């Protein structure tokens, strides 16, 4: 298609896809969904001149859990603070879920 954006996935994403597919903790459906979302997400991320993290929001509990994962990566993962800051700058925003009475 003429109007397709053609861009190879970076090796880092290929490693993440490989780790996801090889994970013993995920069902085949979970693996498939993750791979589709990673590849589509990268396409959207790389095609955008600027990302607006307020366009999409996830529950605050999930947002905080991802932030915590990024901040508590093993010590060998240098730049974890920068990754957490990047998450805040280009990742989705969060929202408080309404309390059900």
The number of angstroms, rounded, from the C-alpha of 27 to the middle of its chain's C-alpha atoms is: 19
The first and second tokens of residue 97, run together, are 């879920």
Per-residue model confidence as pLDDT tens digits over 3-45: 777 788 899 999 999 999 999 999 999 999 999 999 888 887 7
- Helix (H) / strand (E) containing 59: strand 57-59
CA distance 89 to 66: 14
pTM above 0.75, yes or no: no
Residue-level pLDDT at 34: 93
Radius of gyration for the chain, computed over Cα atoms and rounded to the nearest angstrom: 16
């Amino acid at each position: 298609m003429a109007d397709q954006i053609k861009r190879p996935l970076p090796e880092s994403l290929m490693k993440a896809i490989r780790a996801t597919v090889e994970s013993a903790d995920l069902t085949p459906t979970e693996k498939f969904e993750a791979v589709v979302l990673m590849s589509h997400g990268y396409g959207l991320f790389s095609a955008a001149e600027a990302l607006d993290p307020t366009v999409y929001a996830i529950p605050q509990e999930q947002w905080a859990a991802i932030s915590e994962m990024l901040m508590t990566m093993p010590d060998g993962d240098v730049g974890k603070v920068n990754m957490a800051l990047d998450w805040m700058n280009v990742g989705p925003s969060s929202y408080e879920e309404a309390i059900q009475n």
